[in-house]
Amino acid sequence: MTLHYPLDAVTARSWRSAVRRLIPTPAAHRRADVGRDAARSLLGCDDATLDLLLEAGLPSSGTGDAARFDRFDLINVAIYGGAGRSVPEAAQRYVLRYADGRPDSWTEPRRWTLRWLLRCADQTCEGKWRVRLPTPELFGGSLTDPPGPDPLETTGPSVRITTGAVTAGHRAEVRSPVARALFDEVLTELETGRLRYQWLPADLGADLPGAVANGTLDCVAAALLLAERGRERGLSTRTRRGRMLGMIAVDHAWAEIRDDDGRWLPLDPVFALLGGTGRTGPAAAAFAAFCAGSVPGRFLPWDVAAGAPLAEHSCGAWTETFLASPA
């Protein structure tokens, strides 16, 4: 369903400014394969607004009805435009709502039913699957009925995983002054836009020099940056992938450092940025401090590095749906 709304002057100004702020997906990573209908539904806008975005300089190949857009350009314009109607903005709202909750609620354990379906494009496929299972025990949670050993190896057109899970968080504050300074440094770079937080194609996010040269970080590139700078300054570092669970499950990645007392703690300036967007004052500062060492209670971690796959399939094209319902 697409929602339509009148294009008033304020809205038009905010869309134009979104296009001006956009750092387009660089040529080597561009895939202009989204048509006008899909673009309108992704942005939650009408035809007139899409024309306005084109006039304002939204990159496209082709013109008129044949115009094709890069998916990540559309996502980033949606986030900057802030009309609030697009799927990507739902992910941003998720983090804002989370940060709005009582500080006690940030670490509360939660019970979930996870339903993960991976499907080959070819429904007669007999190819191999290798699926990494989530590991909530890393953060003090558990899988209540794990479907088998990790990794799960099987064959066929699809893999269906259903399991109960408990996610748990805990509060911790990084002690290492080097790690604290590193967290503050990257958060400041993101807040000032020296490195812009944008959604990036997976291969660009996993290419740290490429992402930095483009002036952009997504959560994967940010995790790799923290790990690299931490190592250069003598810290033990690693990166992890996971999903933030809620109405929608949002893919995420973060860095972890070994603190002065030997514990591994997450450093997540991207979560701090998203939770603090448009906010100042003690509440925003408390949330930022939380993101320097604490584990949020709704994070489902995998023991998989940022940029590495959660699942692999021998024949190529496949899709997945991942649902987490409160249990």
Beta-strand pair 216-217/196-197: parallel
- List the structure tokens of 295: 């584990």
Shortest spacing between CB 119 and Zn ion, in angstroms = 9
Cβ atoms within 10 Å of 126's Cβ, excluding its own: 11
How far apart are alpha carbons 320 and 311 in whole angstroms?
Answer: 10
Exposed, middle or buried by CB within 10 Å (0-12, 13-18, 19+), for 20? exposed
Cβ atoms within 10 Å of 25's Cβ, excluding its own: 26
Shortest spacing between CB 194 and Zn ion, in angstroms = 43
The region of 4-12, 120-128, 170-178, 280-288 touching Zn ion under the rule CB under 5 A is: 120-128
Q: Report which residue type is found at 191.
A: E
Nearer of residues 199 and 318 to Zn ion, judged by Cβ: 318
Shortest spacing between CB 120 and Zn ion, in angstroms = 3
Nearer of residues 120 and 250 to Zn ion, judged by Cβ: 120
272 binds Zn ion (CB under 5 A): no
The region of 17-25, 122-130, 166-174, 294-302 touching Zn ion under the rule CB under 5 A is: 122-130
Shortest spacing between CB 33 and Zn ion, in angstroms = 22
How far apart are alpha carbons 217 and 215 in whole angstroms?
Answer: 7
125 binds Zn ion (CB under 5 A): yes
Residue from 127, 140, 146, 147 binding Zn ion (CB under 5 A): 127
Q: Give the helix/strand (H/E) hosting 289.
A: helix 282-290
Residue from 54, 79, 120, 244 binding Zn ion (CB under 5 A): 120
Question: Which of 320, 298, 323, 299 is CA-nearest to residue 309?
Answer: 320
118 binds Zn ion (CB under 5 A): no
Calculate the CA dihedral of residues 76, 80, 81, 82 and round it to 10 degrees.
110
Who contacts 64 (Cβ-Cβ below 8 Å, separation ≥6)?
Answer: none
Shortest spacing between CB 132 and Zn ion, in angstroms = 18
The region of 80-88, 210-218, 266-274, 314-322 touching Zn ion under the rule CB under 5 A is: 314-322
The region of 84-92, 121-129, 187-195, 301-309 touching Zn ion under the rule CB under 5 A is: 121-129
Exposed, middle or buried by CB within 10 Å (0-12, 13-18, 19+), for 326? exposed
Nearer of residues 125 and 159 to Zn ion, judged by Cβ: 125
Q: Please tell me the count of residues contacting Zn ion according to CB under 5 A.
A: 4
- List the structure tokens of 305: 């590095």
Shortest spacing between CB 319 and Zn ion, in angstroms = 11
Shortest spacing between CB 320 and Zn ion, in angstroms = 13
Shortest spacing between CB 325 and Zn ion, in angstroms = 28
The region of 82-90, 117-125, 130-138, 251-259 touching Zn ion under the rule CB under 5 A is: 117-125
Q: What sign has the CA pseudo-torsion 74, 76, 81, 86? A: positive
Nearer of residues 120 and 206 to Zn ion, judged by Cβ: 120
Shortest spacing between CB 147 and Zn ion, in angstroms = 20
Place of tokens 């590991």: 135
How far apart are alpha carbons 309 and 324 in whole angstroms?
Answer: 20
The region of 182-190, 246-254, 278-286, 309-317 touching Zn ion under the rule CB under 5 A is: 309-317
Residue from 229, 315, 320, 323 binding Zn ion (CB under 5 A): 315
Partners of residue 189 on adjacent β-strands = none
Interface ranges with Zn ion (CB under 5 A): 120, 125, 127, 315
